[in-house]
Structure 1
Amino acid sequence: MKTFHCNRCSHLVFFENVRCERCESLLGYVPELAEISAFEDAGEGRWRSLHPGADGALFRQCHNYAVENVCNWMIPADSPDVLCRACQLTRTIPNLSAPDNRLYWYRLETAKRRLLYTLAGLGLDVKSRQADPEHGLAFEFLEDGGDGSRVMTGHDNGLITLNIAEADDAHREKVRTAMGEPYRTLLGHFRHETGHYYFSQLVENNPRWLEPYRKLFGDESVDYGEALNAYYRNGTPADWQASYISAYATMHPWEDWAETWAHYMLIVDVLDTSTSYGVALLPDDPSEPTLTDRTPVEDASFENLMKRWFPLTYALNSLNRSLGMADGYPFTLAAPVVDKLRFVHRVIEEASDKSHPRETATPAGQVAAGQLPVQVAQEAIIPNTKIKAKKNRG
């Protein structure tokens, strides 16, 4: 994530901010510019961008920004869309009459927008279901039913379902501890599930990538349900860290890919942030790790990314320990894992379209005047569904 500044007063602002703390200007993200912009009121629900790249263009707030307070993305004033490109991807939201669900919805949308920013920076196209019913991406944010039915977080043919309980920090930490996981975050779930989506889009039916994939990750045609049962029955191999990024990656080649994909997203996101902030490591002792390279991650070779990643995580973990906290990066990258990450890098590099940097989603079809966006129409409907393990790539 790059650094952003208010265009009116130059104050440092963040990707999620809606108002400048110094001059109180309205802030909003403009995906066409990949920038946070300050705005001035132009009347009739329109806002004039103060960003120099916008040349005074007029915008409107996304419905979920202006009304629901869970978004901060802007829409061109002449667009027929009610929802921004990010919110168009969400098909079902939590029941907002339940306590805390609006907070969980906000956290889910925030993590999703950060993921979309990274995908766009890497040149990966994200189409909505409205724009591409067959291959588009959609999200459903559901909760467990009062009758005992459970919602499984997972991916099914472009539909990503997340149990909103993952947006509850206490619940997520409890699950992380119970599962013996060193790392479990909301953003990590989004990265993992989109890994399944992009496997189906970029690898599954691509002869160029499928055989190399199988050599690294294994045969994905083995029965997923049986592999899942065996994983929970037998646990992980004792030496799993020699070949896998996580214990869960050992479960099935699909999960190995999704875990590796998610980890690659983590690496480029953190490096993008550190580069944007000018983070450098210049120790007095020449034997200690150094870091001065500021190559943009979207232009960096895989070797360049890895060369920078190891010293950065060494410093990150050292800082966390000084704060009395657990390591921020609790992973070990064995040589086979690095090879898998390199493969993900190659797949993305070939698939990327960087002619439109950080544009996140193809706009959906026109919304008729007065038509409620799907989020509002469905906000009180929480289907009590359980996604079958055979289809669900968790």
Structure 2
Amino acid sequence: MRSFRCRVCDSELFFENSACVTCGSALGFSREERAIVPVDAEGRYVDASGLVWHRCRNRLLNGCTWLARFEGGQCSACDLTRTRPNDADTQGLAQLARAEAAKRHLVVELDARGFSTEGLAFDMLSSTSLWSEGVVIGHADGVVTIDVAETDDARRERIRAELGEPYRTMLGHLRHEVGHFVQYRLVTGGDLLERYRELFGDESADYQAEIDRHYAEGPPEGWEASYLSAYATMHPFEDFAETFAHYLHISDTCETAAEQGLVTVAPAAFGSFRDLVRGVWIPLAIALNQINRSMGKDDVYPFVIPEPVLDKLDFVARLAFAGSGDMQ
């Protein structure tokens, strides 16, 4: 995540700031400018072309700080959510706010890396709601379903431990499921399919049968030499989605580290994603893990990246350019 500065007093700002803590200016996030901008007392911002923007109507509902094109309207990030907890579900709405914050972070990442959100929608549901009939996190035909109940740290950690996962976050869920969407839009049936199959395997393998096999038998012996996680071994779809999620993990963290002066080489200076991983990410991840251990915390990045995964990450990174032609 890049650094932001207040346009009124030049103080440092953070992505979710709704007001500058130094000068008190009210703020909004402009997706078009990829910047935090000051708004007037009525929540309006006039851009360089003279267009008037308005604070999203969902600021009090889910904490959204983004700008909408019309007064009383909602922003383009909130437009992506087609289903949410109903107004009587106070617990679900509290969970929604944290999930939507993670989703806005994701949208900025996708924009910055050239991935279109056209055709993407989110069902933000809560498995702890009185109105819930069960929520399964997943993707189908452009719709990502998220269980906002997993914004509760204790609940999410319990599930992570039960499933034996090394990592589980709300942003991680979103990155993984959008990975399925990206494959659905850019890879399946396209010109890249042959190379995809060389790297990830035959996606036409029966998905349900592979799920059943995975949970009955576990990952294949020696999977660590070719995959990022045991979950990635389940099916080529899951291998791709895991790889895409890690592409965003790595890209975003390296960019943030550069913005904060923790690394001296700009990520954009590397000719390939493989080189960025080797030159910046691996030493940075080791350092961050050691810092967390010094604080008695778990590793920030509890993964090892084997050589075949570098090829997969390179493939995903190049998709940004393949899909930039239909960027909204």
- Cα distance in 1, alignment partners of residues 132 and 281 from structure 2: 44
Give the aligned partner of residue 368 of structure 1: none
2:24 is the alignment partner of 1:40: no
The alpha carbon displacement at 1:350 in A equals 2.5
How has the CA–CA distance of structure 1 residues 100 and 210 changed in structure 2, closer, same or farther, with 3 Å as cutoff? same
1:347 to 315, 319, 322: 319
1:13 correspondence with 2:13? yes
1:335-374, aligned counterparts within 5 Å?
335-353=307-325, 362=328
Matches within 5 A, 1:250-329: 250-280=233-263, 292-296=264-268, 301-306=272-277, 307-329=279-301
- Return the match for 1:72 from 65, 77, 81: 65
CA contact (8 A) 1:219 1:253 kept: yes
Aligned to 1:102: 93
Q: 1:55: how far off? A: 7.1
Contact 1:70 1:105 in 2 (8 A): no
Structure 1 position 185, deviation (Å): 0.5
SS in 1 for 2:124: strand
Where structure 1 has 5 or more consecutive residues not aligned to the other structure, the ranges are 128-135, 281-291, 357-361, 363-394
User: Aligned-pair distance for 1:96?
Assistant: 3.7
2: distance between equivalents of 1:17 and 1:336?
A: 40
TM superposition score normalised by structure 1:
0.78
The reply to whether residue 331 of structure 1 matches residue 325 of structure 2 is no
Q: Distance in 1 between matches of 2:198 and 2:98?
A: 38
Retained in 2: the 8 A contact 1:92–1:142?
Answer: yes
If asked which structure has higher relative contact order (CA below 8 Å, sep 6+), I would say 1
Quick one: structure 1 residues 204 and 260, their matched pair in 2 at CA, closer, same or farther if it must change by over 3 Å? same
Taking the aligned partners of 2:131 and 2:64, their CA distance within structure 1 comes to 32
Give the Cα separation in 2 of the matches to 1:295 and 1:185: 24
What is the Cα deviation at residue 212 of structure 1?
1.0
Count of aligned residue pairs for this structure pair: 326
SS of the residue 2:61 aligns to: coil
Per-residue deviation, residues 103-159 of structure 1 (Å, max 9, x unmatched): 2111111111111101100111212xxxxxxxx111001123659832100001001
The one of 57, 69, 92 equivalent to 1:63 is 57
Instruction: Tell me if the contact between 2:3 and 2:14 (Cα under 8 Å) persists in the aligned partners.
Output: yes
2:99 equivalent to 1:115: no
Is the alpha carbon distance of 1:39 and 1:264 closer, same or farther for their aligned partners in structure 2, counting shifts above 3 Å?
Answer: same
**Contact kept? 2:62, 2:93, Cα under 8 Å:** no
CA distance in structure 2 between the aligned counterparts of 1:82 and 1:158, rounded to whole angstroms: 24
Q: Does 1:234 align with 2:231?
A: no
| Shift of residue 296, structure 1, vs aligned partner | 3.3
**RMSD over equivalenced CA pairs, Å:** 2.2
Identity, % of aligned positions: 43
**Deviation per CA, 1:198-230, whole angstroms, max 9, x where unpaired?**
101110011x21111111111111111111111
- Runs (5+) with no aligned partner, structure 2: none
Shift of 1:340: 1.0
Structure 1 residues 353 and 295 mapped into 2: Cα distance closer, same or farther (>3 Å)? Answer: farther
Instruction: Give yes or no for the alignment of 1:188 onto 2:179.
Output: no
